[in-house]
Structure 1
Amino acid sequence: MRKRTRTIVSAGALLTLIATSGCANIGLEPPPPAEEGMIAEIRMPSEANSSVQGLVNYNYLSPNATVQNWLFEPLMIRDRFTCEAVPWLATSYEWPTTDRMIVHLREGVTWNDGEPFTAKDVVYTFEAGKEYPAADRNGVWGEFYGAAATSVTALDDHTVEFQFDGPAVPKTDDVLQSTKILPAHIYADKGDPTTYVDTEGVGTGPFVPADYNGRRLVMTRNPDYWDAENLKIQQISLEGQYDANSGALKIRSGALDMYRGDIPNPPRSIVSADPENAHYFFPPDSSTVIAINNERPVLSDPAFREGIAYALDREAISERASYGIMKPASQTMLLLPFQEAEVPDKWKGKEYIPYDPDEANRLLDEAGYEKNADGWRVDENGTPLSFVFSVQAGWMDFIAMADVIVRNLRAVGVQIKMVATDPNAVDGMQRSGSFDMVLDFVGGGCQRARDLGSRLVSSQISHDKELLLNRARFDDPAVDELVAKWSNTTDEAEAKKLQDEVIDVFMTEFPYIALQYAPSRLIYRTDNAIGWPSEDNPYPVDQPLRFATQLRPAPGTAGDASNGE
């Protein structure tokens, strides 16, 4: 499930705090001067858990890891906008059959201690997950969405073969992107890799640990990095745990170059004071949806679900929940406009459900849910419809959305009330199926047989224990079969055909009703570095490792090559 942050502070309160705080840069240690063409330093919040108490451990599998993004690397990085697998430690891959994956590694890569990176490191990393299940964070050896791995073998120094006990194509990104490769020559004789305390920091990544004082980690440029030609940052420093208040203060003052947390209304609270240098980029990460309990009377009727979909004012929802920053989401569940090439031809121009109360009333009337003398809609027996919208207490954006939704539905005669309760209780309702409507997210990733299909298949309906992915409890054997075919094909044309059919289900059956996009967040400054992802230079922000080779010194800085011209 998408990780949530819950921000209660208002944008106005942030502005007041920032306006009265002018000392955010006091105590900053200046970096070494920038060489020509280089950025002296990029400053960002710490990636360590706040409970670490100054202990160093570079092992990313540890719950107390000192750093997460800059030392160890994946085989490839999936661009969520284009769905291209961007070569990283691997240059390509293929599925000769649906149960066999071949990965081709980049040649000439070394660990930062000079040892060569080879297939042995990849084999060790994945085999460690087999021997020590806690290290198998992404379920490569399990049967969740794709068959379990049976072996990982080095065919030569730069080719790795993954064998599975059945079709496993949905596990592609679990192998390529979600698993970071560990150095076998450091970790292999240490036993369980999740308990090993790594104080050396030997990685393939763009930066090397240089200094850690218990709070501030400094990592310097790896001169032997495989893409050193494009690595223009001399050092990065990671320090501090910042909530919305302190994060806003730090980014506004220039004490941070980037911040990825949730700061309310960044155009007003961050950008307005320094529009030349302070910016934000909040591309869509997933679709916020209403998960409607398809097992309950009336809610199980797709005609009713379609009717209420037209009753929702998504612009008002966006304004209330995200200050209008996040746009209404497409009912296709694709991340538009970035994935617009994937929209089936039949739905082009119809990707979004408009706010149309008249159409909502017409559809509900046509479906047989007429209004009684009091103006409330009734079922076929004349009993007034009555529903509860369950929302997590303290999740202010969810509460704001639910408030608009309830008012919209009552306006077309559907009796519904919002009840805010403990988030764990809402999870329990979803596990047992004891709810009418809740808010949820449908992922917008590129393993769409998994990201979209899992939301529809009956095997992902929870039954009191684990909270699975089909939160709407939608159940159609034909759709189960369709998603199974989609999951198990390596033929691109066939996959696109099956994807279009699944999108048809979202567009016509309305098991989930799309509301607004949920963001990947990046707030950044351009007075020190340029090349950040933006509306004009869009690339995903979910993999910060990409920033390392994209950033360049800002014009006028010491490292700007044109500065002395």
Structure 2
Amino acid sequence: MSPALSVQQGRTHRVAAIAVGALSLSLVASGCTVANSNHGDAASADTLRIVLQEEPPTLEACDVSMTSIGVVTRSNITEPLAERNPTSGELEPKLADSWEQNSDRQWTFRLHPGVTFSDGSPFEAADAVHSIERTVNSDLGCNVEGYVFGDADLTVEVIDPLTFTVASPEADPILPLRVSFIEMVPRTTSMTERVREPIGTGPFAVDYWNPGQKLSLVRNETYWGDAPEYSRADYQWRSEGSVRASMVLNGEAELATSLGPEDGAGELGVAYPNNETTAVRIQLEETPLDDIRVRQAINYSVNREGIVKALFRGLGRPAAQLISPGVIGYNDELTAWPYDPDKARQLLEEARADGVAVDTPIRMIGRTGQFPKVNETLEVIQNALSEIGMDVSIEMTDSAGTAEYQERPFPKVGPYLLVIQHGNQAGDAAFTARQYMTTDGFQSAGGTTEFDARVAAAGAKTGEERQEAYAQLFADEPKEIMQMAFIAHMNGVLAKAASVNYTPDSATVDEMHLAAMTRADTERP
């Protein structure tokens, strides 16, 4: 058994410290109105109004690794045992006060005493064990399970009301980090059905949800931690970025997310570095995409510099890998694939001469509101592929629609390209490599057994050896497999009213903590 390792840190509420700058953006004059609901719409200084780009499909706690869900649910309604500080990278206590390593497979967690769920029931080790079993070991097919754990089940055992153990089937040096993705729910939560509105220990609880109109959270007055300043948070959604920005400018909302530099937030626009990387995932098993020359041609056809400059207004940079700087395993020696349409045409002609059906119609699927200028980005890529001789059509859908193509098992519908956006909020390449680069990865379009073994070997390493092993994988995957055409490492932009104090950070796109938001001295418009 390895020497015991313990973690005990001061309990503080995380407030981001990443420096951000206000953008000087042009004002777009556009009016909009807030949808009415069956509940009172009279806003007060105690209510925080947030406008998102899309309505969450659910608030299910075991699916919080989906951005559209996590941005509302995570650490607002439900909470994890521990939480990674996006600035320092350290794993900090949340519902667990400490965790101690017993062996290379097992850890003991000790919970904070006196915590209750918003329904008044106590949070104990039995609830933590149930939450882990439900998220990882059940047949629900939770997004967190696929994103964080793959096919590996965990062994969990209650020791006493505030203590439990969790063990992985194989040695895993980052097991506590993985477990931090699991949001805690009561032991009474169904193991066989998803829950649209979960019960949690967080500072807020669901008050009402009018589908298509408004979602309202109310402060949990029995919250175990420091009480949030706002008593209510109202969420609405508008697909057009300029409309979201104008709602803040016109005093109809305090925060608007996922804006582009052209959306007109003016002096209220705040740019921040996020951890999202945009890419086109290529289905390797379908003709003509099963030929690496065709995949290389796709890469040569994408003008990454042009997309970042013209569409993203310089807010981002061309990507050569799926993770961003600051994530363990990031390879700072890689450069983006060169733009060379002539080389792309040559590769297609070589494949055609060998009998590859390069003229086969291919669908390119994107998600509405996935990131600013997503429609225009797909159109630019479609046009580039058309110019080199490929037949590609665009299909835009919502979160539920893209999930069918994003996660295994994939539908057998012919060749398709999927525009994805991956944010490694955990800070370790294990959460990218396993799901995107192995033959059976949750969101992987292909691979080799040899590469699978290298991914597994990298995951067992620690320290500098871990960094080097993952960095080498990111260098080798495009040469040996190439299931991606990377586009850009993205920057985020949100609009924030002067009445709110909030500093976005690299985790903001995936989780937006209401408790970190406070009222400024200025009067609300």
Task: Identify whether the pair has TM-score above 0.5, normalized to the shorter chain.
Answer: yes
Deviation of the 1:59 alpha carbon: 8.3
Percent identity between matched residues is 15
Counterpart secondary structure, 2:263: helix
Q: State the AA in 2 paired with 1:270.
A: G
8 Å CA contact 2:330–2:429 kept in 1: the answer is no
Residues 395 and 422 of structure 1: CA distance in aligned 2, closer, same or farther (over 3 Å): closer
The answer to whether 1:175 aligns with 2:182 is no
- In structure 2, the partner of 1:532 is 503
Counterpart secondary structure, 1:500: helix
Deviation of the 1:314 alpha carbon: 0.9
- 1:126-275 correspondence to structure 2 within 5 Å: 126-127=132-133, 133-134=139-140, 138-139=144-145, 145-149=150-154, 151-166=155-170, 175-177=179-181, 179-184=182-187, 187=188, 194=193, 203-207=200-204, 217=216, 219-220=218-219, 222=221, 225-226=224-225, 228=226, 233-238=229-234, 240-244=236-240, 247-260=244-257, 265=260, 267-272=261-266, 275=267
Counterpart secondary structure, 1:416: coil
- Name the TM-score, length of structure 2 as normaliser: 0.70
Q: State the AA in 2 paired with 1:182.
A: V
Structure 2 residue corresponding to 1:333, chosen from 322, 337, 357: 322
Residues 325 and 478 of structure 1: CA distance in aligned 2, closer, same or farther (over 3 Å): same
Quote the RMSD (CA, aligned, Å).
5.0
Deviation of the 1:145 alpha carbon: 1.8
The answer to whether 1:404 aligns with 2:393 is no
Q: State the AA in 2 paired with 1:219.
A: V
- Name the TM-score, length of structure 1 as normaliser: 0.66
Deviation of the 1:15 alpha carbon: 4.4
Counterpart Cα distance in 1 of 2:379 and 2:337:
19
Unaligned runs of 5+ in 1: 1-13, 33-39, 53-57, 371-375, 461-467, 559-565
8 Å CA contact 2:153–2:169 kept in 1: the answer is yes
Residues 255 and 439 of structure 1: CA distance in aligned 2, closer, same or farther (over 3 Å): closer
Deviation of the 1:541 alpha carbon: 0.7
Counterpart Cα distance in 2 of 1:525 and 1:95:
42
8 Å CA contact 1:75–1:176 kept in 2: the answer is yes
Counterpart secondary structure, 2:447: coil
Counterpart Cα distance in 2 of 1:72 and 1:401:
35
Unaligned runs of 5+ in 2: 1-26
- In structure 1, the partner of 2:16 is none
8 Å CA contact 2:110–2:164 kept in 1: the answer is yes
- In structure 2, the partner of 1:499 is 470
8 Å CA contact 1:75–1:181 kept in 2: the answer is yes
- In structure 2, the partner of 1:315 is 305
- 1:327-406 correspondence to structure 2 within 5 Å: 327-336=316-325, 338-339=326-327, 342-344=329-331, 347-348=332-333, 350-355=334-339, 361=343, 369=346, 377-379=349-351, 381=353, 386-387=358-359, 388-392=361-365, 400-405=376-381
Deviation of the 1:456 alpha carbon: 2.6
Residues 517 and 505 of structure 1: CA distance in aligned 2, closer, same or farther (over 3 Å): same
Q: Which has the larger radius of gyration?
A: 1
Deviation of the 1:173 alpha carbon: 5.2
Counterpart Cα distance in 2 of 1:493 and 1:25:
55
Residues 297 and 529 of structure 1: CA distance in aligned 2, closer, same or farther (over 3 Å): closer
8 Å CA contact 1:532–1:547 kept in 2: the answer is no
Deviation of the 1:408 alpha carbon: 4.5
Counterpart Cα distance in 2 of 1:206 and 1:300:
51
8 Å CA contact 2:54–2:238 kept in 1: the answer is no
Counterpart Cα distance in 2 of 1:108 and 1:183:
15
- In structure 2, the partner of 1:287 is 278
Residues 521 and 297 of structure 1: CA distance in aligned 2, closer, same or farther (over 3 Å): closer
8 Å CA contact 2:433–2:455 kept in 1: the answer is no
Q: State the AA in 2 paired with 1:123.
A: V
Count of aligned pairs between the two proteins: 474
